[in-house]
Amino acid sequence: MFYMHNNKLGAWFELPFKVKEIGRYSLSVFPILFRENGIWKISLSGPGIKKVLNPRMDLWDPFLSWKENYPENEQFGTNVEEKLGIYDLKPGKYVFRFECVGTNPLSYEEKTGKNGYSIRLDALSVRMLPWGDMSVWYKDYLKKEASLFAKKEAEARKTVAELAKAIQAFKEDFLRYPESLDVLVERPAARQEHRGIPLTSGRSTATAEIPVSGSATGKTEGRKEINRISVQSRRSV
């Protein structure tokens, strides 16, 4: 924990850090709120940037009256995160500058009997985000999402069509609808058994003599003959 006792306006200190890789960074400070703390301005300076991140960050602890936090908050304060924003940073040296600009009317320091101006910090966070410009990333994401959903919809339509076809075939075979999907999975074997077809696979050729009488067309009118027709049938499972 960083602690700086202070009793006047205008006091300041700086905390330096380095950025090794260009990118978009999320900045946060983790102050420890306390009954003796003041109000501080936080600024950032470095390559291509000089900006006030928070003009008045009140570090007095408003949770002192919470029984849920007692006695830890009275002895150690309350640890919170204050987000400072998201910025594009270049490689180089940077500095966080903290400057006391005021005090909370309820802040009180027992040693002096006056308002407190001190500061307590638990950590500073400089986190590089895994993406750059969110608007560009989001447009690309929406395009990929639309393509993915279209693919899933096509697969779902194909599955439903095949399922409907299987249900209709089952109904034609057994004159009833299947009780469950498991029945559809077993349908090929049950279908062959229902039709009296052996559960084997292969090809066979059969020859049959079919008498044909009368006329099928004008060319065969008045003729009676017996045609020998070779019928090839294919059986498969």
- pLDDT for position 184: 77
- pLDDT for position 154: 95
Rounded Cα–Cα distance for residues 36 and 130 (Å): 38
- pLDDT for position 108: 87
DSSP state of 62: T
- pLDDT for position 86: 93
Rounded Cα–Cα distance for residues 62 and 85 (Å): 23
pLDDT in tens, the chain (237 residues): 899 999 999 999 999 999 999 999 999 999 999 989 999 999 999 999 999 999 999 999 887 755 555 566 556 678 889 999 999 999 999 999 999 999 999 998 988 889 999 999 999 999 998 876 767 777 778 888 999 999 999 999 999 999 899 888 888 888 888 888 888 777 655 555 555 555 444 333 333 333 434 444 444 333 333 333 333 333 333
In terms of DSSP H, where are the helices of the chain?
Answer: 72-76, 134-174, 181-195
Residue 23 near residue 130 (C-beta atoms within 8 A): no
